[in-house]
Structure 1
Amino acid sequence: METGREDEIVDMPMSPPVVGSNINNDFCHHKEFMSQTYMQNKYSEIDIDTEDSNFDQNRPLPIFLKFEDVEYKVRNSQAGSGNVVKSMMSKLTTHLTVEEDRYKRILKGITGSIGPGEILALMGPSGSGKTTLLRVIGGRLVDNVKGKVTYNDVRFNPALKRRIGFVTQEDVLFPQLTVEETLVFSALLRLPGSMSKQQKYAKVDTTIKELGLERCRHTKIAGGYLKGISGGERKRTCIGSEILVDPSLLLLDEPTSGLDSSSANKLLLTLQGLAKAGRTIITTIHQPSSRIFHMFDKLLLISEGYPVYYGKAKETIEYFSFLRFTPQIPMNPAEFLLDLATGQVNDISVPPDIFQDQESSDPSKVVIEYLQLKYKSLLEPKEKEQNHRVASTPEHLQLAIQVKMEWTSSWLDQFMILSRRTYKARRKEYFDKLRLFQALGIALVLGLLWWKSSINTEAGLRDQVGLAFYICIFWTSSCIFAAVYVFPFEEYYLVKENKADMYRLSVYYACSTLCDMVATVFYPTFFMLILYFMAGFNRAVASFLLTLLTILLIAITSQGAGEMFGAAIMSVKRAGTAATLLLMLFLLTGGYYVQHIPKFMRWLKYLSFMYYGFRLLLKVQYSGDQLYDCGSMGGCRTLQSSPTFDSVNLKGGLKEVWILLAMALIFRLLAYLCLRVRIVGRKN
């Protein structure tokens, strides 16, 4: 909401009440003539600019948008058991009534059109359906939608995805990246491959200057408890990531929220410049200042899902004056319109005859119903007639809009760009001081507890084997819990960027899992370098390297399992619970606490990678022919004869390596498939 007093106080035209049918005829005739002339000029301009039939798919494609009788409904969550019982009892109710009980109508028949060079503002009180209509137009809502939405006289198709920019009301930005880094990575991923890197960086620099982000270009986004850029700067960064790729159709949801009057005015000037270059722009806005209000070409005013005005923004006051609604005090036009849309007419003169013969005692409801009725009888028929009468879009534009744009870069190029961004975004997590202190502290504590332990006795052997199992538990739990939250936390970023077709999902997953291996390899290595020699394990270099590789293999497999459960569940709370249950299952079947599992439960251990990892760790650390317990009455014995290794053949080869590698690959394949189902489902 803009609060500048100079902008908001504007004298409204105080037209005298006009009575009679001439109101309708005069206003509609004037509107019809002006709209028809305007659209003819628009089409002729675009025809001149696009007469080449071999339209370059990388250039912004002019889009003529038409929407007619758009309706949208959602399943009524309130329709619980009470409604079911009621519907069962009333067998004679009509099918329509049952449908109304089951569904709630959000949009109730909206018609309009907009072409290149125009900015359409969707206004209305909160909950009126502005954002819903924007999402329908952007192709993000397809189920339970009725009506007709066409782009250059063609229905929505996948080819349009990368021609539509969508700025959501929520700021979805990586907190660890700076403003410039955010825009640079967006440019590298989304701008055409025909542009050089220098051109892409220049485009970013221009966008930063246009949006007034020079002061914070090197500041991290941050947010929450981390200090970073302001809310207005976050909004401008979101808009910048969309407008820097020059979309043909730009949709913005409350772009001026959180901005002061001056910043909002600069933003609208930027949007005007984009529109004049041939873009079609639609934005929802709640209560703009007077100056911003007059920057819009067209306005759609919605009340309770119904349209109450559609036409040129500068003609709104004239239209409502014809209907004998005039402000009694100087008032911002947007404030005047919102008061009408909510039925709050305390400072507005209204036709006295609208309250006659009305059953409702609520004046606001009477006003809204009257405005809806007038729109249906005066504006909607003319708008529909004009949409049908306007000349068809040139054929080459219809064909061009159905050509699917290829990826702007190859798989490998996307991988290199996204790897850099993923590393920068997660770098703080990879080299976290607390995590480093945890690995160091636990390694020192374990090293001191098992200081120079030996396997000369049965008790000493059991202690050292117990340490080996604890190491398996520690790195299994650490890697599972580090990986299980990754996709649930990044779901919003991933959904947003996939809807914009910024990159292939396979590229994202490959970058995510490979970059996370930095921490998966670094911390266990650091941990084992400290603990191994303190605890008195086999000092041979080969044994140390094999032990370290075994721990790393366990950690990598655990990471894959965590990713799989995180991608399958996609919920921070439920993912943590699932990871805990998974860890407990692996812990109990790992082969240390219970070596002889009953036959009917034995199959569980073959699903546990901790079982294979623990067995492999024992094989690389100990030899079956190695002697121990030489001081006992029975004399020296081989390690294989110890009860500790009853279920482990120390000479049985290293088949566990291949099993763990197979598990690591299977977990990652399943993680990718789960991620694809989740994201593609949200995307479509």
Structure 2
Amino acid sequence: TCKTTKQCERKILNSVWGDVPSGEITAIMGPSGAGKTTLLNILSGRCRSNANIKIESDIRMNDYAIDPATNIDVRKQIAFVSQDDALAFTATPREAIRFSAKLRLPRITTDDEIEELADKMLEELGLGECAGTMIGGSLVKGISGGERKRTSVGVELVTKPTLVFLDEPTSGLDSFSAMQVIKVLKKIAQAGCSVLFTIHQPSSDVFNSFDRLILLNRGMVMYQGSVNDCPNFFAQHNHTMPKNYNPADWIMSVAQQYTQEQLITEGFFAENDRVLPPALVPKDGELLNSLGVSRRGDVEDDEWKHVGFGTETRVLFQREIRHNLRNKQGVGARFALTTFISILVGSIFFGVGGVESYTDPSVMVLMISMFGTALPTLISFPDERPVFLREYSTNHYGVVSYFISRLAMEALITFLQILEILLIAYYMVDLQAGFFKFLAIEYALAMSSTAVAVLVGCSVEDPKMAIEFMPILFIPQILFAGLFVRTDLIPVWLRWAQYLCALTYGVNLALLAEFGSCAENVSMQPNMCAQLLGANQVKEEEKPLYWAILWGLFFVFRLGGLAMLRKKATKFY
């Protein structure tokens, strides 16, 4: 039984029961809102009681009482394939399966064994012809929907699970592709697995391929048993299926056409309150032994444990490199736009870097570095959120290893982007500070700005929401940097905000680099340099403080992003 909160108490599932034997595929059908996905999430341990939901259940595996939400041994025997195929779109089916195997199999597993497993999986799933083709996504053409779904199944099967749960595995597929997926599920079941999946309105051929059916209606079980016995069951309750009719369509029409009171009167929910015999309480190792799963002693050898933090980070970083090399549209557009803006700024401020008392060129170069690096980072985290949540929930890796691998990749791309900006704008504008000195300032500012973008990106759920947060991210940076109004003129109760704005310290360091020593090729008197710096409240002796605060903001906001990412991940799973 599954209930929502007391303020709006509603039973989502009510006395649901059923059997999912091994060697057979069992489908869960029912109208929208019947509780199909909720039931699947509870059985797979992805939904548990909390302040908003109360779950009362008696789940058994081989007559042993289990709780999939808390029993780690049971969770390891479960594979869950979500409705949305959350896969890295630049990976190929072979790479996706290999990636899952590298991170989820014991560290004793060799590369040759992983390759052999991937080849076998691709052959069994009928993915041999597209094994080297990019999976693709909404903007990048790739493999077909059916092939993508079978790849999702293969990714979860590398751990050789006992139970396989799938949420709407045929959603969005044509009849032929849907039938191909069902044939794959039957193969999995015949290998000794219990296969349970939700499905909305299958074709007659797909429906007749099922071994068993659980029909939910308004959170209760309307029918549970063999698919072949289903028409006779309905006939016994005064509902005879017409000839030449899709059984799935007819069953759904009966379930939706009549009220719950009418169906109860006809005896459809008679078995919902049946009493089960007492469950067995598994002792150490008994449950796994009953499933034919070997278990090592309590003190396991290191070689049989999950791969370590270093391996997780390395494999994730390798995927990040491959992803960015193949993502020609995203990364290519990022660098092409950087080139265009750099040339535009360089053309407008061409040769004015040496004009006395003119700070705008250096500030503008700083601003395009901040905007150009932070914007793509802001969108990237929510864009890849579905893939991260799926992989985290299936124990591919931890939050920290994922975060560090992303940080390493972003640091590299940010450096290349800053280098590109300076190679164009630095010489066109004729900035006076040394090239590498300005490069260090720009890079520190960019890394601090991207850290803020990461914090915001980890806090929202989709790219559209992230874009809506852009003004909050950038406008305060400009307002509190002293570009339009001196910081000493800002109201006292708002002045504290300047210490959180990386652009403030980037501008201070740039001004010191440009005018701090009054370079010989600048036609200014030393006292004019001092006046310029004084007007902007920039002090030479505080240069180490500016550097410390700039990198301090980087670490603070990055740690904030890590904490937010962990919170979001544990909230869902």
Q: TM-score by structure 1 length?
A: 0.74
Provide the secondary structure at the position in 1 that maps to 2:14: strand
Alignment-mate amino acid for residue 153 of structure 1: A
Query: Which residue pairs with 2:26 in the alignment?
Result: 120
Per the TM alignment, residue 511 of structure 1 is displaced from its structure 2 partner at its CA by 1.1
Alignment of 1:599-638 (within 5 A): 600=492, 601-624=494-517, 626=519, 636-638=525-527
Alpha-carbon shift at residue 264 of structure 1 (Å):
4.0
CA–CA distance in structure 1, aligned partners of residues 500 and 221 of structure 2: 59
CA distance in structure 1 between the aligned counterparts of 2:518 and 2:410, rounded to whole angstroms: 39
- Alignment partner, residue 530 of structure 2: 641
> Secondary structure of 2:225's match?
strand
Give the Cα separation in 2 of the matches to 1:663 and 1:272. 54
After the TM superposition, which residues 410-425 of structure 1 pair with which residues of structure 2 at under 5 Å, given as runs?
410-425=308-323
Determine if contact 1:640/1:650 at 8 Å carries over to the other structure. no
Q: Any idea what SS the aligned residue of 1:502 has?
A: coil
Q: Which residue of 1 aligns with 2:110?
A: 196
Give distance in 2, aligned partners of 1:336 and 1:630. Answer: 89
Distance 1:620 1:253, change over 3 A: same
CA offset digits 1:225-283 (Å, max 9, x no partner): 43222222222222221123322211012223344555444433433333333322211
Aligned partner of residue 408 in structure 1, secondary structure: coil
Which residue of the other structure, out of 203, 226, 246, is the alignment partner of 1:312? Answer: 226
Task: Work out which of the residue numbers 315, 326, 340 in structure 2 matches 1:441.
Answer: 340
Structure 1 residues 605 and 364 mapped into 2: Cα distance closer, same or farther (>3 Å)?
A: closer
Distance 1:158 1:271 in 2: 25
Q: Which runs of 5+ in 2 are unaligned?
A: none
Q: How far apart are the structure 1 equivalents of 2:523 and 2:221?
A: 93
Give, in whole Å, the separation in 1 of the partners of 2:469 and 2:330.
26
CA contact (8 A) 1:639 1:645 kept: no
**CA displacement 1:61-84 (0-9 Å, x = unmatched):** xxxxxxxxxx22345xxxxxxxxx
2: CA distance, partners of 1:165 / 1:497: 12
Residue 479 of structure 2 is aligned to residue 580 of structure 1: no
Deviations 1:635-683 (A, max 9, x none): x444443335432223544332222122111111111001111111111
The structure 2 residue matched to 1:510, chosen from 398, 404, 426, is 404
Spell out, residue by residue over 1:363-382, the C-alpha distance to the aligned partner (whole angstroms, 9 max, x if none): 666652334x3441xx446x
Partner of 1:664: 554
Aligned partner letter, 1:412: G
For residues 552-598 of structure 1, the C-alpha deviation after alignment (integer angstroms, 9 at most, x for no partner) is 11111111111012223344344333332231111122133323523
The 5 Å alignment of 1:206-355 reads 206-289=120-203, 292-343=206-257
Output the CA distance in 1 between the equivalents of 2:43 and 2:54: 14
Structure 2 CA distance for partners of 1:116 and 1:395, relative to 1, 3 Å: farther
Give the deviation of 1:128 after TM superposition: 2.1
Distance 1:177 1:559 in 2: 26
Indicate whether 1:136 and 2:42 are aligned. yes
**Matched residue of 1:597: which SS?**
helix
Q: 2:377 matched to which residue of 1?
A: 483
Opposite residue 544 of structure 1, the aligned amino acid is F
- State whether residues 340 and 368 of structure 1, in contact with CA within 8 Å, keep that contact through their aligned partners in structure 2: no
Question: 1:108 and 1:297 mapped to 2: Cα distance?
Answer: 24
1:153 has 2:44 as partner: no
How many angstroms does 1:395 deviate by? 6.1
CA contact (8 A) 1:565 1:579 kept: no
Call closer, same or farther: CA 1:483–1:259 in 2, change over 3 Å: closer
Partner AA of 1:141 in structure 2: C
Contact 2:342 2:425 survives alignment (8 Å): yes
1:654 aligns with 2:544: yes
Q: State TM-score, norm by structure 2.
A: 0.87
* Cα distance between partner residues in 1 of 2:79 and 2:218: 27
Q: Name the amino acid aligned to 1:107.
A: L
Deviations 1:314-365 (A, max 9, x none): 333343344454334244443443343234xxxxxxxxxxxxxxxxxxx666
Alignment CA distance shift 1:499-1:645 (3 Å) = same
2:227 and 2:496 map into 1 onto residues whose CA distance is 71
The one-letter code matched in structure 2 to 1:575 is: A
Mark the CA change 1:389 to 1:119 in structure 2 (over 3 Å): closer, same or farther.
Answer: farther
- Tell which deviates more after alignment, 394-403 or 316-325: 394-403
Q: 1:370 pairs with 265, 277, 287, which one? A: 265
Alpha-carbon spacing, 1:370–1:476, altered in 2? closer, same or farther (3 Å)? same
Query: Which of these residues, 346, 356, 375, is aligned with residue 461 of structure 1?
Result: 356
Q: How far apart are residue 452 of structure 1 and its match?
A: 3.1
The answer to whether residue 28 in structure 2 is matched with residue 72 in structure 1 is: no
Q: What amino acid does structure 1 have at the position aligned with 2:333? A: L
Q: What CA distance in whole angstroms lies between the structure 1 residues aligned with 2:208 and 2:331?
A: 51
Cα deviations by residue, 1:365-406 (Å, 9 ceiling, x for unpaired) = 6652334x3441xx446xx45x41787768633377998998
Give the drift of 1:551.
0.6
Contact preservation (8 Å) 1:211, 1:266: no
Per-residue CA deviation, residues 584-616 of structure 1 (Å, 9 max, x unaligned), is 111122133323523614322222211111111
Q: Name the SS for the 2:28 alignment partner.
A: strand
Encode CA deviations 1:190-234: one digit per residue, 9 max, x unaligned: 233222112112222222222222222222222324322222222
1:596–1:509 distance in 2 versus 1, CA, 3 Å: closer
Rg larger in 1 or in 2?
A: 1
* Equivalent residues of 2:498, 2:504 under 8 A apart: yes
1:544 to 435, 442, 452: 435
Quick check: 1:624–1:650 contact (8 Å CA) kept in 2? no
User: C-alpha distance in 2, partners of 1:453/1:301?
Assistant: 75
- Alignment partner for residue 519 of structure 1, among 398, 413, 416? 413
Alpha-carbon spacing, 1:558–1:303, altered in 2? closer, same or farther (3 Å) = same
Change (3 A) 1:659 1:228: same
- Provide the rounded CA distance (Å) in 2 between the counterparts of 1:327 and 1:571: 45
The Cα shift of 1:501 comes to: 1.2
Task: Give 1:92's aligned residue.
Answer: none
Q: Which residue is equivalent to 1:109?
A: 15
Any idea what the Cα deviations from partners look like across 1:286-313, whole Å, max 9, x if unmatched?
A: 3445554455443212222221222233
SS at match of 2:384: helix
